[in-house]
Amino acid sequence: MTTPRSMSALIAALLFPAALLLAEDVPAYRDVSKPQAVRIQDLISRMTLEEKASMMTNSTPGVPRLGIPKYDWWSEALHGVANAGTATVFPQAIGLAAMWDDSLQGEIAHVIGVEGRAKFNGYRGTPQEGTIFHGLTFWSPNINIFRDPRWGRGQETYGEDPFLTARLGVAFVRGLQGDDKDYLLASACAKHFAVHSGPESLRHNFDVSPSEADLREIYLPAFEALVREAHVEVVMTAYNALNGTPCSISPLLYGLLKEWGFDGHVTSDCGSVDDLVHTYRRAANHLEANVLTTRAGMNVRCGGDTSTFVQAVRTGQLSDADIDHRVYPLLRTMFRLGFFDPQDRVPFNAIAPSENDSKPHGDLALKAARESLVLLKNDGILPLAPKKLQRIAVIGPNANSVPSLVGNYNGQPSAPITVLTGLKAALEPLGVQVAYAHGIDYSTRPDRFRPIPQPWFRGDYFANPTLSGSPVAQRTERPLCLSCNPGGLPPGVPEAGISVRWTGELQTTLAGEYQFQIRGRGGFRLYLDDALVLDAWVPPAGDEAREREVTVARVLPDNTSLPIRLEYAQGHGQSSVVLEWKTPAVELHEAEALAVAKTADLIVFVGGLSAQLEGEEMAVDYDGFNGGDRLRIELPQLQQRFLEKLHATGKPMVFVNLSGSAVAFPWAKENANAVLQAWYPGQAGGTAVADVLLGTYNPAGRLPLTFYRATEDLPDFQNYEMKGRTYRYFKGAPLYPFGHGLSYTTFAYGELQTKRLPDGSVAASLTVTNRGDRDGDEVVQLYATPPAETHPREIVALCGFRRVHLAKGEAQKVELIVPASALRRWSDAEKAFQVPHGSWTFQAGASSADLRQKATLTF
């Protein structure tokens, strides 16, 4: 007789082998109960050499048989998800720094991470999945020190001070990566490691040799903080060399990452491994360059052919273990992002695509824009009194410019508000007329075809002349000039019988006729907004190898972003193509603009610069600019002369300066009634500017860098010594000092009290009182000066800050902790950091030049 118990035993015996087989079918790397290290090692053990090597370039094809997804390590999120369509666009990074608000900085970064996940989740099953700019490994933030205002990429940084940069960088990384104990919301990247700040035209072969004290005290602290405190997932090496060694293979830099406990992965900047061959001459070919970087510690190359890794192993120049060691951190990043776990186990998979560009995120962009605005001067004209105005004139090249809202490394705002739009929306309902005239250009420029100021074009290269199949290489081009690249064609691309598809986003600034010219050998097709506008795909018979020139014109609206695509093919082995444009002539009808000004009660001149003039390694032929950098820091002469003519009308004038860097405008300081520094303020910039000018919002932004009076105040651009630079070491009189910013109310500072804590940090406290008749924010700044007998070169150094909100009449005790790391100084004698003994001075105030309370401590 079969009992129930015996029947159960029989069933169990029959099912046990099946269960065992099922358990064996689940690979260890898919088993979420196992330690992550075990899972990664198991996955590596199942991969072929070719599959592992394929992981080590930014565009990896994936390994479908193992469930490793196709993925591109390169995405951007400097002040919003960039280069991937619509996203919330916050103020440019230098504007975020001007908030002096690390709490809001973290909140913004978290929103960027959420939008990155929202977009990533929405890409599943679409052609964008796994492609460049559509991932979760964001190569942001840029924490280089903005040591010289001529550097075009300084706008991407948090300013000139290492302490402020570190605090804002840590907040950004923590916000972007999230605080889940198991998974990253997104991955952040500290770049460019290290000592990198121009000139852009020399960055591929420039050797930087700062003093050891400058290196340790100024250029490196932010990187150390992001590694030790924020556990940043990625570090990007810089293009330049440091003390004779390219950063991509620097033993010093890789050694510091190990010393700091870095457990993420290292990526190159795009094309920098090629620089080892073409400019630094450290390697004879790409194989040798990849061997050098792999041995040094690099995990990902942006651009390049991974077949050389396989060749290096098979010829004994690298071992299998070398490849395993470099692939391990890459897979670890993927595990941390949840790529190998069940969908419902990763909480961020539930973020809906609709979270991108949501209203709450737009509200936050407006808040950030308001906090970023710095009131530099006000003779009492602000806030404006609409009841006393009938008509204002809004004039200038940035008055109605979307590119000057968004800066560089930006997403596309769905509803950008220019300064003109913001002022019209605020004033016209109150019965104030708002008249507009563009007036002038930023600076003088030649009337000729010139490179398109596109941040970059992505080039997909095919080993056939028909754009068929999958590309064999990808590369970014800046400008789009194939014959200009010192390295020639990308590795793996044959000399003859090729085709290329370049894609990018074209941004117009003015309405009118745009002319596009293509020069080169072969066939061309040009598309604007996905419409074919020029078809020269088949060269005339017998002219396949002869250079030709084709031109097309199109009328385009202003402030419009539209896709641009150039397709190219050649079968003869002489690759050559250049794409350039002519923009509409700016109507230099100064008389018309002056006439508008004369009919107004008030002039708002909105000038400055644009990210189409200052930025990353780009061809710019405006007077006063070179390769993305500025030759002089003064306001361009064209604008200066026009400002003087506006002033001569006798009308009161407010100067709103949009720029990503410090501009010298001493005339405006003396003659304009008010000066507002607006940076590149993001999608809501126009609303924020209007709110400040009308007093709806009380400004409290502070300068994260020094505004100098003239170019002559600066040392040579190529000199990386800090002597005479930044508020710490500049002994002259600045136009506006580091930390400066005005308010519509006034604040009083009580006695500063300090004490040393057992862990070596310093506690500081004081009471701040709002003595005015408006609510407002005050940014309390604390500066330290080490003993003069041991460190005479340093004037003051920021060591603490806090942005606080005070209602009118309110008093608040502000407490700051100065970390011990902010007090250490490098000792050349000991080759180590020390906290200098002696009398330290601590000062609190409203800027580096407005220090109101002092205390001393003896160490």
Distances (CA, A) of 607 to 260, 399, 492: 44, 7, 46
DSSP H helices, 26-101, are 36-46, 49-54, 93-98
The pairing of beta strand 498-507 with beta strand 523-528: unpaired
Please write down the long-range contacts of 358-363, taking CB distance under 8 Å and 24 or more positions apart: 358/88, 361/88, 361/111, 361/114, 361/115, 362/88, 362/415, 362/683, 362/684
Element (DSSP H or E) covering residue 769:
strand 762-770
Name every residue whose Cβ is closer than 8 Å to that of residue 65 and which is 6 or more positions away in sequence. none
CA distance 194 to 204: 14
Task: Map tokens 């692939």 to a residue.
Answer: 327
Kindly name the residue from 102, 200, 269, 357 that is annotated as catalytic. 269
Strands (E), 396-522: 433-437, 450-451, 457-462, 473-477, 498-507, 512-521
Please provide the DSSP assignment of 291-310 as one string.
HHHHHHT--BBSS--THHHH
Is 614 catalytic? The answer is yes
Q: How far apart are CA 680 and CA 80, in angstroms?
A: 13
CB contact at 8 A, 649 and 219: no
Residue with tokens 């060749």: 311
Beta-strand ranges (E) seen in 299-415 are 374-378, 391-395
The shares of helix, strand and coil residues in the chain, as percent rounded to the nearest 5, are: 30, 25, 45
Pair of tokens at residue 333: 């990043």
Cα dihedral across residues 200, 203, 206, 207: positive or negative: positive
* Cβ proximity of 196 and 144 under 8 Å: yes
What is the rounded (10 degree) CA torsion for 741, 746, 747, 748? 120
Cα 656 to Cα 815: distance, rounded to the nearest angstrom: 34
Residue (of 626, 272, 280, 378) closest to 290 by Cα position: 272
Instruction: Let me know if 324 is a catalytic residue.
Output: no
Question: Which two three-digit tokens encode residue 763?
Answer: 């506690």
CA dihedral 663, 666, 671, 673 (to 10 degrees): 50
d(CA 461, CA 467): 8
Residue 585 half-sphere exposure toward CB, CA atoms < 13 A = 6
Residue 394 CB coordination number (10 Å): 30
What does DSSP say about strands 498-507 and 457-462: parallel, antiparallel, or unpaired?
antiparallel
Residues contacting 20, CB < 8 A, separation 6+: none
Exposed e or buried b per residue across 326-339, where buried means at least 16 C-beta atoms within 10 angstroms of its C-beta:
bbbbbbbbbbbbbb
SS3 690: helix
d(C-alpha 621, C-alpha 759), whole Å: 54
Give the span between the Cα atoms of 489 and 496, in whole angstroms. Answer: 11
Residue 488, token pair as written in the block:
């020639």
Phi-psi region of 847 (alpha: psi -120 to 50; beta: other; left: phi over 0): beta
Q: Which is the catalytic residue, given 614, 629, 634, 713?
A: 614
Distinct helix (H) and strand (E) counts, the chain:
21, 36
CA 119 to each of CA 60, 441, 471: distance values in angstroms, whole numbers, following the listed order: 20, 37, 24
Helix (H, G, I), strand (E, B) or coil at 675: strand
Catalytic residues, by residue number, are 269, 614
